[in-house]
């Protein structure tokens, strides 16, 4: 399991090791690991078992995590949920995107997501799904590799060559499927194509059987600040030249432009 950017040490001279370990533990639990087996958790995270126990008790005290049941492990707690809610509420992009994601999910019958760039990953800030059928199992807080995901691709496509190279400097690119770029040249070629298209179209590029279409979101200065997408059964994306596919593209581009305009974009 990757807990930080692959091949890249994100710590610096100002990092506080205990805080770094606590955040690593929170992310580990947030990814669905209940830490029931402390020895296994200690080995996986590279945290001394005694230190791990102290961290768990400290996080319990501050309600950052909570026990699932006696002796059955832990999950993220209401204290952390409260902080996350405050962080999301403070982001204009989330408030502006929410109603448009609802509309997009309703119109297309597929899950709609909002994501932003975080290093070599994108993080989902919110998701809306149609009431008829939940296609995507992604949720707010999910992280995906930037170069492989449709939202990540449209964000990268709006960056300069130098910015893209800086993001992936000394990073080993791992494929999600056989369609995932695994070299910087491949990533740059993908960026060029996505930029020309104005969106990212995926037919099982990240996950077999799942298709996706994403478009970038810009702020008042014209800078890319995120992206939104829809995802659903691959067969709905298999032929990009059908009327149905054109309708999906138009819906995604319209929603992304709506969020951008709400953020002050006038490009």
- Residues 185-243 have pLDDT tens digits of 999 999 999 999 999 999 988 888 889 999 999 988 899 999 999 998 888 888 888 99
As its CATH architecture, domain 91-262 has 2-Layer Sandwich (3.30)
Strand-pair category, 121-128 with 74-76: unpaired
Does the pLDDT of residue 88 top 60, yes or no?
Answer: no
By the 8 A CB rule, do 100 and 114 touch?
no
Domain ranges for the chain: 17-84, 91-262
Q: Average pLDDT for residues 145-173, to the nearest whole number? A: 92
Percentage of residues of the chain with pLDDT beyond 70 = 90
- Residues 92-112 have pLDDT tens digits of 888 889 999 999 999 999 999
Q: Average pLDDT for residues 116-134, to the nearest whole number? A: 82
Tell me the residue ranges of DSSP E strands in the chain: 65-67, 74-76, 111-118, 121-128, 143-145, 200-203, 210-218, 224-233
As its CATH architecture, domain 17-84 has Orthogonal Bundle (1.10)
- Residues 34-57 have pLDDT tens digits of 998 999 999 999 999 999 999 999
CA 70, chain centre distance (Å): 32
pLDDT at 2: 38
Res. 158 pLDDT band, cuts 50 70 90: very high
Which candidate, 196, 190, 110, 108, places its Cα nearest to that of 156?
190
By the 8 A CB rule, do 230 and 204 touch?
no
By the 8 A CB rule, do 147 and 168 touch?
yes
pLDDT at 1: 37
């Amino acid at each position: 399991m990757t807990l930080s950017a692959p091949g890249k040490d994100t710590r610096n001279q100002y990092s506080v090791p205990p805080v770094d370990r606590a955040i690593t533990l929170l992310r580990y639990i947030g990814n669905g690991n209940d830490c029931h087996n402390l020895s296994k958790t200690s080995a996986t995270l590279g945290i001394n078992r005694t230190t791990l126990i102290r961290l768990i008790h400290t996080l319990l005290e501050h309600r950052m995590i909570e026990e699932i049941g006696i002796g059955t492990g832990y999950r993220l707690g209401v204290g952390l949920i409260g902080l996350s809610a405050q962080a999301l509420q403070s982001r204009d992009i989330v408030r502006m995107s929410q109603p448009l994601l609802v509309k997009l999910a309703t119109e297309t019958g597929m899950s709609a997501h909002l994501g932003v760039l975080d290093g070599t990953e994108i993080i989902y800030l919110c998701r809306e799904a149609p009431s008829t059928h939940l296609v995507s199992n992604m949720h707010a807080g999910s992280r995906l590799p930037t170069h492989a995901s449709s939202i990540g691709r449209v964000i990268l496509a709006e960056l300069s060559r130098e910015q893209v190279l800086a993001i992936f400097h000394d990073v080993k690119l791992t494929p999600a499927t056989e369609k995932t770029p695994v070299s910087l040249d491949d990533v740059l070629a993908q960026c060029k194509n996505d930029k020309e298209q104005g969106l990212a179209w995926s037919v099982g590029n990240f996950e077999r059987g799942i298709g996706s279409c994403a478009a970038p979101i810009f702020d008042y200065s014209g800078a890319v600040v995120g992206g939104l997408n829809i995802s659903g059964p691959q067969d709905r994306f298999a032929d990009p030249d059908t009327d149905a596919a054109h309708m999906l593209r138009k819906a995604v581009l319209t929603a992304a432009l709506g969020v951008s305009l709400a953020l002050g974009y006038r490009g």
